[in-house]
Structure 1
Amino acid sequence: YFGFELGAQTNTNPKDDRWIINGAHEAGKLQDSLDGFISRFVLCKSCKNPETEINIKDGRILLDCKACGQRTQVDIRHKLSGFILKNEPKGGGSGATGNLSGQKMRSV
């Protein structure tokens, strides 16, 4: 997400659980980007609770809120949405996906 928002090249090292954003970035700019990520991809659009799961179904990214039951669609115009759809984690069964941390479950 930071790479898309800041236009910066990023590197990952899963063994160390390290994510590197190349370039010089102010803390405030990084905080604003993080807040944007949380607003777009974590918080429920109805109750603003962070207890959501991201599900991919029929080329759509959906936030399913476990607190209030609301299901909302994520804006697919954001570059991260396109990345998620193109790099959907593989899971078992029809429509099932893995999550970004590598666990096998329906949510991303």
Structure 2
Amino acid sequence: MVSNIAPFDPTKKKKKKKVVIQDTVAVDDPWEGNTYEELLDRVFNILGDRENNSELAGDRRGIVLRPPQVLREGTNKTVFVNFIDECKIMRREPNHVMTFLLTELGTSGSLDGQQRLVVKGRFAPDNFQGILRRYVTGYVNCEGCKSPDTMLSKKNRLLSLNCEKCGSERSVAQIKPGFLARVGPRKART
């Protein structure tokens, strides 16, 4: 019954097949017939195309945010006038950016009828600009290719940043507001 199978002999090694090496044909010099100047012109033409064509150059431009226009409204309110314009430049929903700004500033605020962000408290334009830079770093720019061409999407209660240029995807932290103390006159007990 076992006669068809060859006996196992651990002392014998399997023979390797010999690799036949073929004679390679002598490759002609690809630069033969071209002068140094012609080759140099060819290289500079390719480089010139690379500067003009952003796909070849690996365009690494970032978002250029305009300085925030901030006004005082009364004694303890600050108005961020070009808030909606900044959101359009970043291609983000105003509610998400507003939540981040208000959380970072540690205050409350809302959009008024003229689509300006009204914030409770006194803040300088530098405060808004620094927070917007942090927002761009965390929620707009792709970490792989540094491109601002990204989309923010929510999957299974996780917020993810999808790059349209390189196709990478990473999860980003949810915006968690800290403790805000309610300050103001309390209702009189009756």
Normalising to structure 1: TM-score of the pair? 0.65
Gaps of 5+ in 1: 81-108
Distance 2:120 2:132 in 1: 16
1:8 to 107, 121, 131: 107
Aligned letter for 1:12? Answer: L
Percent of residue pairs bearing the same amino acid type: 26
| Correspondence 1:47 to 2:145 | yes
Distance 1:64 1:72 in 2: 7
Normalising to structure 2: TM-score of the pair? 0.39
1:64, 1:72 within 8 Å by CA — same for their partners in 2? yes
1:24 to 113, 116, 122: 122
1:75 to 140, 154, 173: 173
Query: What is the aligned residue count?
Result: 78
1:64, 1:71 within 8 Å by CA — same for their partners in 2? yes
Q: List per-residue Cα deviations over 1:77-105 (Å, max 9, x = no partner).
A: x427xxxxxxxxxxxxxxxxxxxxxxxxx
Shift of residue 12, structure 1, vs aligned partner: 1.2
SS of equivalent residue, structure 2 residue 137: helix
| Aligned position for 1:62 | 160
Aligned letter for 2:157? Answer: G
Shift of residue 16, structure 1, vs aligned partner: 2.1
Gaps of 5+ in 2: 1-99, 178-190
SS of equivalent residue, structure 2 residue 118: strand
| Correspondence 1:34 to 2:126 | no
Question: Which one has the bigger strand percentage?
Answer: 1
SS of equivalent residue, structure 1 residue 24: coil
Shift of residue 19, structure 1, vs aligned partner: 1.4
Aligned letter for 1:79? Answer: K
1:56, 1:62 within 8 Å by CA — same for their partners in 2? yes
SS of equivalent residue, structure 2 residue 131: helix
